[in-house]
Structure 1
Amino acid sequence: MAQIRIRNTNERIEGEEQVKAFLEQQGVLYEHWDMSKYPAALDEKFVLNDEEKAHILSTFDAEIRDLAARRGYEIWDVISLSDATPNIEELLTKFEQVHTHTEDEIRAIVAGKGIFIIKSEELGYFDVELVPGDVISVPENTNHFFTLMDNRQIVAIRLFIEKDGWIAYNVNDPDFVKA
């Protein structure tokens, strides 16, 4: 299950109900998918070909279509990142820039770990540490970014409203301090 760390106080929030309640107060969607159906052949595999990505999408087709129907998503894909990803350091530098979008940014983590760093007007920045099964959607126009955790491996399903995907608008936020 996801865990939250509020950066200003170092307070941690754990447990599905507590995490969900906290994120709901911040306007952030959180749900958890059943990962027991994740293809065993893909366990611990973080370099995926197109066929494997399609297999992941078909495995979670019902969950994706349910989410798309509720929230207006039009397209989806799978992203996989690890130290084996070409230009991983360049990508992480780009990812680790505070930005906003004109649509929400959603991830369904299916393998590995990732982290959203999100700004709350009341609390400042907080980290949402995500594990397989966690689904999170950061609201539009909210300062945030997504990156890898210490294990530097992730497979996630991304959903988009706009057919060309969302565009990141970088924000120079003096309140943000790297942890």
Structure 2
Amino acid sequence: MVKSWYMSSIYDDERNELHLNPPSFVTIEELNAKTGVLCWKFNPKDVDENKEFIELKRSRGYTYEDSVEISPEKLPGYHDKIKMFFAEHIHTDEEIRFIEAGSGYFDVRDLDDKWIRILVEAGDLLVLPAGIYHRFTCDKNDYIKARRLFIGEPVWTPYNRPADDMEERKKYIDRMKCQKA
């Protein structure tokens, strides 16, 4: 299952694990409570026949998907794209990723504005809620293959921080405060 922890803000390479000293791990339940992030685990070899995966896609309205390979060999302009993915931003829609192969990190902010690093590996399905500040980077292996799922047609627009005045960010904060109460 997905592993997550509060991360250090001091680093020379964002592809490292970046644990605090001492490490401060976050359970899946805490991750959901603190950020609204949802996680599942599926076997990537038979995910398309998995009844739970099929029902999850249906019940959440995921009707469009594609696949992307992120590595220096597979993604033109890899270093510029990774830099762009690592800029802190929000989206007006959920960001849904199923990791087919490889690994990487999604970093998300909790309501106290602290970073939580989420390690994603083959088989992990991650749903980042609309309006959450987040970013992505590969790990030291510099390779990840992810299936991107969408509700309807894909929306790719990132809104870099600060985006606190955006309606979706305000809705996210309100949802999380209600969930916390």
TMscore range, shorter length: 0.7 to 0.9
- In structure 2, the residue matched to 1:60 is 48
Distance 1:125 1:83 in 2: 26
- In structure 2, the residue matched to 1:32 is 41
The reply on whether 1:152 has 2:161 as its aligned counterpart is no
Distance 1:144 1:81 in 2: 18
After the TM superposition, list the runs of 4 or more consecutive aligned residues in structure 1 that deviate by more than 4 angstroms: 61-64
User: For residues 94-133 of structure 1, what are the alpha-carbon distances to aligned partners after superposition, in whole Å with 9 as ceiling and x for unaligned?
Assistant: 1111110111101111100011010001361110011111
Matches within 5 A, 1:12-161: 12-13=24-25, 19-25=27-33, 26-35=35-44, 37=45, 60=48, 62=50, 65-84=54-73, 85-122=75-112, 124-161=114-151
Distance 1:61 1:171 in 2: 39
Q: Which deviates more from structure 2 when the two are superposed, residues 19-28 or residues 145-154? A: 19-28
TM-score (norm 1): 0.74
Gap regions ≥5 residues in structure 1: 39-58, 174-179
| Partners of 1:160 and 1:166 within 8 A in 2 | no
Matches within 5 A, 1:168-179: 168-172=158-162
Distance 1:139 1:71 in 2: 12
Structure 1 residues 19 and 163, CA gap change in structure 2 (3 angstroms): same
| Partners of 2:90 and 2:134 within 8 A in 1 | yes
| Partners of 2:93 and 2:155 within 8 A in 1 | no
- What code does the residue aligned with 1:131 have? E
1:154 shift after superposition: 0.5
| Partners of 1:113 and 1:151 within 8 A in 2 | yes
TM-score (norm 2): 0.73
User: For residues 57-90 of structure 1, what are the alpha-carbon distances to aligned partners after superposition, in whole Å with 9 as ceiling and x for unaligned?
Assistant: xx62656532321212221111111120221011
Distance 1:162 1:171 in 2: 26
- In structure 2, the residue matched to 1:52 is none
C-alpha RMSD of matched pairs (Å) = 2.2
